[in-house]
Amino acid sequence: AAGVIQSPRHLIKEKRETATLKCYPIPRHDTVYWYQQGPGQDPQFLISFYEKMQSDKGSIPDRFSAQQFSDYHSELNMSSLELGDSALYFCASSLGRGTRQPQHFGDGTRLSIL
Amino acid sequence: AQTVTQSQPEMSVQEAETVTLSCTYDTSESDYYLFWYKQPPSRQMILVIRQEAYKQQNATENRFSVNFQKAAKSFSLKISDSQLGDAAMYFCAYRTSYSGGGADGLTFGKGTHLIIQP
């Protein structure tokens, strides 16, 4: 079965640079979620989109923005990167929001800030 | 805001034995969903089992089952016949039902690191 695809798998950036992470949801899934997992931490919800509109917002810094496109893929844009942004970034998708359908996670993008 | 608490940072069990991981949560909502996710060393997040709050029957998936106590706000995971491949970090997670309003992102506990002794 098709899964959530995230690219790139690994990304190395320097402080103050920008980064763009991409997420391709499972086919027919209309809801995308972004999470940030720091070293040894639990995943923290950043933002979600339903039918190309922002659905919910968590602890996403103002330096980050995201959007969902007409083909339902999503991009997380990160600017003025800081050392503390080094983390594993997960994208998840589901069919519908707030429903019994679970969120299926991609393998994550590991972002390292030098 | 909802909170999820996993009071066991680490648990160890002998292969083939049974282990129970604890999770409690705090919410004022009546309709919500609870999940257990497994994160092995590969760092993938794998759904293990889910429970709808309106269902009294405890969910079961093969060797994995839950003990859902809504009044006590408790949601423990039991793993029977533990296998080496069960070794991972286990996260308990909460999500509101959209009909109840509020956030639709998952709220995770801090996780329990499960070690399987051969």
pLDDT in tens, A75-113: 999 999 999 999 999 999 998 776 678 899 999 999 999
What is the spatial distance between Cα B108 and Cα A45, in angstroms, rounded to a whole number? 9
Q: Which tokens hold the place of B92?
A: 């308990």
* Beta strand B64-69 pairing with B60-61: antiparallel
Given a contact cutoff of 8 angstroms between Cβ atoms, the answer to whether A59 and A66 are in contact is no
| Residues A97, A103 contacting (CB under 8 angstroms) | no
Provide, as residue numbers in chain B, all residues whose Cβ is less than 8 Å from the Cβ of A39.
none
Q: Is B43 left (phi over 0), alpha (psi -120 to 50) or beta?
A: left
Joined together, the tokens standing for residue A63 give: 């330096």
d(CA A93, CA A24): 9
The per-residue b/e assignment along B88-107, b for 16 or more CB within 10 angstroms, e otherwise, is bbbbbbbbbbbeeebbbbbb
Residue B100 pLDDT > 70, yes or no?
no
Among the partner-chain residues B96, B106, B111, the one whose CB lies closest to the CB of A103 is B106
Report the alpha-carbon distance of residue B70 to residue A95 in Å, rounded: 26
8 A C-beta contact, residue A19 and residue A113: no
Q: Do A104 and B47 touch (CB under 8 A)?
A: yes
CA-based torsion, A108, A111, B2, B5: positive or negative: positive
pLDDT at A98: 63
pLDDT at residue A101, as a whole number: 80
Q: A56 to chain B: which residues are within 8 Å by CB? A: 103-105
| Beta bridge pairs of residue A104 | A93
Q: What is the mean pLDDT of residues A16-39?
A: 96
Instruction: Please report, rounded to a whole number, the percentage of residues in chain A having pLDDT higher than 70.
Output: 98
pLDDT of residue A2: 83
Q: How confident is residue B103, by pLDDT bands cut at 50, 70 and 90?
A: low
How far is residue A33's CA from residue A50's CA, in Å, rounded to a whole number? 9
Distance CA A47, CA A60 (A): 7
Contact status of A90 with chain B (Cβ, < 8 Å):
yes
